[in-house]
Structure 1
Amino acid sequence: MSMHAFDVDDDDDLMNEINMTPFIDVMLVLLIVFLVAVPAIHRAIAIDLPQAGGNAPAQRPAHVSVSVRADGALFWNNEPVAPDALLQRVRKTAEADPQTELHLEADRKVPYERVAEVMSTAQAGGLTRIGFVTAPKPSGAR
């Protein structure tokens, strides 16, 4: 048996290469995350943001309030109004200012059909800016 000065067993060899498998796995996971996240970013809600500069409006836009109670009774600015008289009031308001906003307050027990009728009446009368008034949830509710 000969003795070599530099006798090295194969088991004791140091690994000279970096194991690339974990690195590739991490890169593939990051690629998948980005591929899933990018389409979600592009599905943002389109909103009409105010423009900076210029003069601030002197007054808030005019608005009227239409309320529908659970029993179907209609109110125009907290005054009772008949369903057939609602169209005349909407037309008169639209003639005075077509940009008037209609704030629609409906009881949660009102059928959707009734709310849709009020919206249709407002549109037929010339008011196209309709806002739904809701009450905020209590801070502890989900």
Structure 2
Amino acid sequence: MRSWNESKKNKAHIELIPMIDVMMFLLVFFVLISLNVIPSQGMKTQLPAAASAQQIKPQKRAIVTLGENNQLELDGEGVTLEALVARLKAGQASIDSTAIILNSDKSVPVERLVAVMDSLRQGGFTSISIATRKL
């Protein structure tokens, strides 16, 4: 009997290299997104805990961070206590609608926190909140 050269049927198989490429892209995107999801403006602080902590409502706000060694930052940029009110007034159109959040490390003395709050009050800012973490 005569035999013809018939081509062998190709079996279906899974290609590993494209699957590895996709997994690597997913890993890279996950790492990049996780680094930028948490807004890390300025210095790291350990907030004090409070049982009555509330979620901040979205509004026009400025974040003042008090760190160790008398560091003071306004929205992630270093500032002195004397220039704090002037920079807040320059950056905000209306003082009444601006909410100021004091993000103070728990190692900062209360005297320093009160001095910053007093300076802001004398500058005309009345909506001042202290950031805490929920227990």
Shorter-chain TM-score bucket reads 0.5 to 0.7
The gaps in structure 1 that reach 5 residues or longer are 1-58, 138-142
Rounded Cα–Cα distance in structure 2 between residues aligned with 1:93 and 1:99: 12
Rounded Cα–Cα distance in structure 2 between residues aligned with 1:93 and 1:128: 16
The TM-score, its normalising length taken from structure 1, stands at: 0.50
**Shift >4 Å, 4+ stretches:** none
% identical aligned pairs: 27
Amino acid at match of 1:135: R
Deviates more, 1:65-74 or 1:78-87: 78-87
For the aligned residue pairs, the C-alpha RMSD in angstroms reads 1.9
The TM-score, its normalising length taken from structure 2, stands at: 0.52
The gaps in structure 2 that reach 5 residues or longer are 1-56
Spell out, residue by residue over 1:46-92, the C-alpha distance to the aligned partner (whole angstroms, 9 max, x if none). xxxxxxxxxxxxx9320000000021100000111122111212333
Structure number with the bigger relative contact order (C-alpha 8 A, sep ≥ 6) is 2
Aligned equivalent of 2:63: 65
Spell out, residue by residue over 1:31-52, the C-alpha distance to the aligned partner (whole angstroms, 9 max, x if none). xxxxxxxxxxxxxxxxxxxxxx
Rounded Cα–Cα distance in structure 1 between residues aligned with 2:110 and 2:61: 23
Contact kept in structure 2, 1:91 and 1:126, CA below 8 Å: no
- Structure number, greater radius of gyration: 1
Q: 1:111 aligns with which of 90, 109, 112?
A: 109
Contact kept in structure 2, 1:101 and 1:130, CA below 8 Å: yes
